[in-house]
A and B are shown apart, each in its own frame.
Chain A
Amino acid sequence: MQLILRQGRVIDPSQKLNNVMDVGIDDGKIAALAPKVAGKGRKEIDVRGLVILPGFIDMHVHLREPGREDAETIESGCAAAVAGGFTGVACMPNTQPVNDSEAVTAFILSRAREAGKAAVYPVGAITKGLEGKTLAEIGEMRRAGIVAVSDDGHPVCNSQVMRRAMEYSRIFDIPVIDHCEDRDLAAGGVMNEGGWATRLGLRGMNPAAEEVQVERDAVLARQTGARVHIAHLSTRHALETVVRAKKAGVALTCEVTPHHLLLTDAAVAESSYDTNTKMNPPLRLQEDVDALARGLASGAIDVIATDHAPHSVRDKMLEFDHAPFGIVGLETAVSLVCDRFVRPGVLTLERLAELFSANPSRILNLGRGTLAVGSVADVTVLDLERKMDVKPGEFASRSRNTPFAGWKLTGGPALTVVRGKVVWSL
């Protein structure tokens, strides 16, 4: 066998496993799973005291290549992914050029193969040029390897176009991922509309901008029967809409980001206009944070994704009004969730495996998210006792834009295996 992980606690909800076991890997696949795997592996790693989970997938990242290689490349983004415990990432299409064609999809996949670290799952554009007008060649892109469609940060405002996209996506059984934002309601805003925006004199983004679009998508998803996934959901009321739709049998799923689970709009004031607190959707209120945390534990929320959005220092260190939205997340997400939710007992390790692995795999139809014998050997190993100081200067990502600099966290990735190969270890 090429690799044996010895005596780690295996957590795999797909097989209802929570036992100390050996995991044997051969030919890039899980070859054996038993309390004691006989024989000797070409490589053996003692993972006693550590947790072995199906490989984590971040279904919402921006790799910036092609176009903005100063902020991130597919190679640096994949290095950041595996250092953060992710074996796979789904990358959004807002590159330059936009991933709205087979050629760009093929380019991304070939660069990812060269990088040879995390698996990269491209997300294609819904509309040509992300312009919200005419459908991109989704079928061609699907053949080239996209796993979903989204116009992400340039959301489709025209509800008729969105309806067509949902109908059309059913041919390929791929989800439509929507960044929900009514662009008139949010126009000009740079942070959450509310008391802090008022005090700071910054233009607010009305939370209704997100909520009305989630409501719209729930209606269209019900009507079209399409699979619709709400990206980075951030408000209590938006979550209520998702829960209601799910109860009614609509194929609606959602993700949340670690920053929306841990920070509120007060961070903009506390950091004195630090642009690393500027993201879209913006940081919301404590009541939203509390509702998201409850949804994480209850199962109302399907996925944790980072919305990893690298920006160069030059671009981000501007006036709050002018700085771009977004923060990096790949190298902090798992540690933040371990420290704030797993260790305090809010999330079980089984829920963690669902949120980071089984659910994104199911939504994107990747056939991952399990350690069953015969499946692709993408494995995330965590050390729940690992001490970590968030030091942006040491990130594998090319960018450093994080609001978590200086946070001291316990728990995080220890070893990342992709297709049977150890691609990163502590």
Chain B
Amino acid sequence: MASLSHKDLLGIEQLSVEDIQLILDTAEALREVAARPVKKVPTLRGKTVVNLFFEPSTRTRSSFELAEKRLSADILNFSASTSSVTKGETLLDTAHNLEAMSPDIIVIRHQSAGAPHLLGRECRASIVNAGDGMHEHPTQALLDGLTVRTIKGRLDGLKVAIIGDVAHSRVVRSDTILFSRMGADVWVCGPPTLLPWEFEKLGARTTPHMEEAMDGADVIMMLRVQHERQNEAFFPSAREYASLYGLTRERMRSAKKGAIVMHPGPINRGVEIESEVADADYSVILNQVSNGVAARMAVLYLLSGNSGLEP
């Protein structure tokens, strides 16, 4: 049986097509744990997982925690607000202190791109990137891949449109690499002020026109737009943004029949997505949440030295 040949999961960038398939297959197999009356398997019994969160996060953190609990791991939660980071301790100091407690896996969320890489170089434990700055959020892309594959039966040949604040999104980077690597036709769309230079190098086509991105799309993924960006001159107002890049029922008509709508959350109703669209039956936002636990279980399982399960 195949296994993951990496010590750390720092980004989708490092994963081969086979790696991605292995993780998705494993996640699919582990998903049935959630359907059992006793939602727990003993796979990580006796292993210690540290959740090291330097950025507030409710969703990702609870998702990881649930995944760890379902795998029977011992969990240590460590967040920036309760840590010594505020007392001038550096990330490396923190890492070395944690390392002294012999964890097997460290899940890290950090505001700065590359922070997990620094940890990966310094720690024996496996590092899982739970989001680093504007760089990557690999488990989000894996759960997105799992969600689309489950519904559409495949990833290759699909047109995936990702729309919104591309510049500040780590999700779009991980998703673009994953979907394009798996053979999808990825379109990334947003105002040019929020489209970073040479985004095409990640494997997407880019356009400032939403119609072009939406035309015939199988999957529409909306990215969160923060109101504060209007103060940094990226766009004039949330109102104008919504009129140019908001996903409405009207705009959904140009997508392919049977297209699904995704969002990494938390959503801004009425800004990047109309409420009715977020709640429509083609919206799979809640499927993403449940798949998140399975995808993270798969990653933890495979990084702790296990081979893939039979799907």
Cross-chain contact A321 with B133 (CB below 8 angstroms): yes
Cross-chain contact A198 with B197 (CB below 8 angstroms): yes
**Nearest A residue to B135 by beta-carbon distance?**
A201
Can you list, as one digit per residue, whether each of A319-331 has a CB less than 8 Å from chain B (1) or not (0)? 1111000000000
Task: Give complex CA distance A320, B91 in Å.
Answer: 11
Can you list, as one digit per residue, whether each of A264-283 has a CB less than 8 Å from chain B (1) or not (0)? 00000000110000000000
Cross-chain contact B197 with A319 (CB below 8 angstroms): no
**Nearest B residue to A193 by beta-carbon distance?**
B197
Looking at the complex, which of B115-123, B145-153, B155-163 is the stretch in contact with chain A?
Answer: B115-123
Please report the total number of B residues contacting A with Cβ < 8 Å. 26
Cross-chain contact A202 with B173 (CB below 8 angstroms): no
Cross-chain contact B90 with A317 (CB below 8 angstroms): yes
Task: Give complex CA distance A201, B177 in Å.
Answer: 13
Q: Is B281 an interface residue (CB 8 A)?
A: no
**Nearest A residue to B134 by beta-carbon distance?**
A201
Cross-chain contact A319 with B115 (CB below 8 angstroms): yes
Take A272-B121, A319-B91, A321-B133 as given contacts and tell me if A198 and B196 are in contact as well, using a CB distance cutoff of 8 Å.
yes
Residue B201 contacts which of A195, A319, A320 (CB distance < 8 angstroms)? A195
B132 contact set on A, CB distance < 8 A: 201
Cross-chain contact B201 with A200 (CB below 8 angstroms): no
Interface size of A as a range: 20 to 34
Task: Give complex CA distance A272, B136 in Å.
Answer: 13
Q: Is A122 an interface residue (CB 8 A)?
A: no
B170 contact set on A, CB distance < 8 A: 201
Give the shortest distance, in Å, between B120 (CB) and chain A (any CB).
8
Residue B113 contacts which of A193, A202, A314, A317 (CB distance < 8 angstroms)? A202
B114 contact set on A, CB distance < 8 A: 200, 202, 272-273, 319-320
Cross-chain contact B135 with A200 (CB below 8 angstroms): yes
Q: Is A194 an interface residue (CB 8 A)?
A: yes
**Nearest B residue to A191 by beta-carbon distance?**
B113
Task: Give complex CA distance A314, B135 in Å.
Answer: 24
A193 contact set on B, CB distance < 8 A: 197
B91 contact set on A, CB distance < 8 A: 318-319
Task: Give complex CA distance A321, B136 in Å.
Answer: 15
Take A200-B135, A201-B134, A202-B134 as given contacts and tell me if A320 and B113 are in contact as well, using a CB distance cutoff of 8 Å.
yes
Task: Give complex CA distance A159, B63 in Å.
Answer: 53
Residue B133 contacts which of A198, A201, A314 (CB distance < 8 angstroms)? A201
A202 contact set on B, CB distance < 8 A: 113-114, 133-135
Cross-chain contact A318 with B90 (CB below 8 angstroms): yes
Q: Is A199 an interface residue (CB 8 A)?
A: yes
Q: Is A84 an interface residue (CB 8 A)?
A: no
**Nearest A residue to B195 by beta-carbon distance?**
A198
Task: Give complex CA distance A25, B201 in Å.
Answer: 60
Q: Is B198 an interface residue (CB 8 A)?
A: yes
B230 contact set on A, CB distance < 8 A: none
Q: Is B235 an interface residue (CB 8 A)?
A: no
The winner among A197, A198, A203 for most chain B CB atoms within 10 A is A198
Q: Is A129 an interface residue (CB 8 A)?
A: no
Task: Give complex CA distance A198, B202 in Å.
Answer: 9
Q: Is B110 an interface residue (CB 8 A)?
A: yes
A318 contact set on B, CB distance < 8 A: 90-92
Task: Give complex CA distance A201, B171 in Å.
Answer: 11
Cross-chain contact A199 with B173 (CB below 8 angstroms): yes
Take A318-B90, A319-B91 as given contacts and tell me if A204 and B113 are in contact as well, using a CB distance cutoff of 8 Å.
no
Task: Give complex CA distance A203, B114 in Å.
Answer: 12
Q: Is B83 an interface residue (CB 8 A)?
A: no
Task: Give complex CA distance A194, B196 in Å.
Answer: 8
Give the shortest distance, in Å, between B150 (CB) and chain A (any CB).
28
CB-contacts of A273-324 with B (<8 A): 273, 314, 317-322
Can you list, as one digit per residue, whether each of B129-142 has a CB less than 8 Å from chain A (1) or not (0)? 00011111000000
B121 contact set on A, CB distance < 8 A: 272
Q: Is B111 an interface residue (CB 8 A)?
A: yes
B135 contact set on A, CB distance < 8 A: 200-202
CB-contacts of A189-213 with B (<8 A): 193-195, 197-204
Task: Give complex CA distance A273, B135 in Å.
Answer: 11
Give the shortest distance, in Å, between B166 (CB) and chain A (any CB).
9
Task: Give complex CA distance A317, B92 in Å.
Answer: 8
B78 contact set on A, CB distance < 8 A: none
Give the shortest distance, in Å, between A227 (CB) and chain B (any CB).
36
Cross-chain contact A195 with B134 (CB below 8 angstroms): no
Cross-chain contact A319 with B112 (CB below 8 angstroms): yes
Take A199-B202, A319-B110 as given contacts and tell me if A204 and B196 are in contact as well, using a CB distance cutoff of 8 Å.
yes
Give the shortest distance, in Å, between A148 (CB) and chain B (any CB).
35
**Apart from A195-B198, A319-B115, A320-B113, what are 8 other A-B pairs with CB-CB below 8 Å?**
A198-B201, A198-B202, A201-B134, A273-B118, A317-B118, A318-B90, A318-B91, A319-B110
A-B contacts, 13 listed (Cβ < 8 Å): A195-B198, A197-B196, A199-B13, A200-B114, A201-B133, A201-B136, A201-B170, A202-B113, A202-B114, A202-B134, A320-B113, A321-B112, A321-B133
Instruction: Please list the 8 inter-chain residue pairs (A to B) with the smallest Cβ-Cβ separation, ordered nearest first.
Output: A201-B135, A273-B114, A195-B198, A319-B112, A201-B134, A201-B113, A321-B112, A198-B196
